[in-house]
Amino acid sequence: MSRLFFHCEHRYPGGFRLDAAFELEEGVTALFGPSGCGKSTILAIIAGVLRPERGMVRLGDRVLIDTSRGIDVPPEKRRVGIVFQDHLLFPHLSVEGNLRFGLKRGASRAIDLGRVVDVLELHGMLHRSPQTLSGGERQRVALGRALLRGPELLLMDEPLAALDAKLKDQILRYLAQSFVEWRVPTLFVSHDPADTRRIASRIIVMDAGRVERIEEPMSRETGLPGTGKTAEEG
């Protein structure tokens, strides 16, 4: 059984229509395509923050949403971690408070706070307020916070967008270390072909709300081979 099965349709008031289907195995997969092709919509549907008009999402043996059977698991029960593009750290909590947020609410698999702090090098900033962090630091805290929830699937929205080359290299290193350390199946969104090839072991190429094709390069950074296949070639 595949790790994630996704087949959903969703229409926006403006007329844009998403109709995409794919399956994921372990490893790191990229959703690649131009802006507005429906990548972020797919993440929102999987995380449970957007309800599709029609479709089904299954994670492992759990159905997260199935509109035909009226199943819609609320986001807090999905065990899907998400790192938002603008991080969305809680401004009223310290970095440590942010990291512990998901941990306190019953992480579904044991990921050690100390180890996350080590791997993502968060030592010096635990007692600081998120507002005082740089973009790269916030990115690491957001990743740590999502990981500490112990997700069965990690979603990342444009993790490398808006970073300069040096910072991009640094974040890539942290991402790669996290993938190797915790092996959380990851789906990330990107519109940059170079970034996509650097992280992903599998690439789902999208255009205008549909899956165009699936590519399977070997990732140089993470070295995790992919085995994805598409359920419906666009």
Partner 1 sequence: MTEAGPAPYVVLSILGLLSTEEWQAVSLSVIVAVTAVASSLPFGIALGWLMARRDFPGKSVLETAINLPLVLPPVVTGYLLLVVLGRKGWLGGFLERWLDVRIVFTWKAAALASAVMAFPLMVRAIRLAFSAVDPRLELAARTLGAGPVDTFFSVSLPLARHGVLAGALLAFGRSMGEFGATIMVAGNIPGETRTIPLQIYGALESPGGMERAAMLVVVAILVSVGALATGEALERRGRAKLAAKR
Q: Which of residues 48-67 bind partner 1 (CB under 8 A)?
A: 48-49
Q: Which two tokens stand for residue 163?
A: 């970073």
Q: How far is the CB of 94 from partner 1 (least distance, A)?
A: 5
Cβ within 8 Å of residue 76, ≥6 positions away? 105
* Phi and psi torsions of 90, nearest 5°: -75, 115
Binding status of residue 14 toward partner 1 by CB under 8 A: no
Which CB sits closer to partner 1, 40 or 196?
40
The residue within the footprint of partner 1, chosen from 14, 70, 74, 114 (CB under 8 A), is 74
Q: How far is the CB of 110 from partner 1 (least distance, A)?
A: 14
Binding status of residue 88 toward partner 1 by CB under 8 A: yes
Q: Which of residues 175-234 bind partner 1 (CB under 8 A)?
A: none
How many Cα neighbours within 13 Å face the side chain of 209?
Answer: 10
Judged by CB under 8 A, the stretch of 2-10, 14-22, 82-90, 182-190 that binds partner 1 is 82-90
Binding status of residue 145 toward partner 1 by CB under 8 A: yes
The residue within the footprint of partner 1, chosen from 90, 121, 193, 218 (CB under 8 A), is 90
Place of tokens 């072991």: 201
**Which residues in this chain contact partner 1 in the complex, by CB under 8 A?**
47-49, 74-76, 78, 80-82, 84, 88, 90-92, 94, 101-102, 105-107, 127-129, 131-132, 145-146, 149
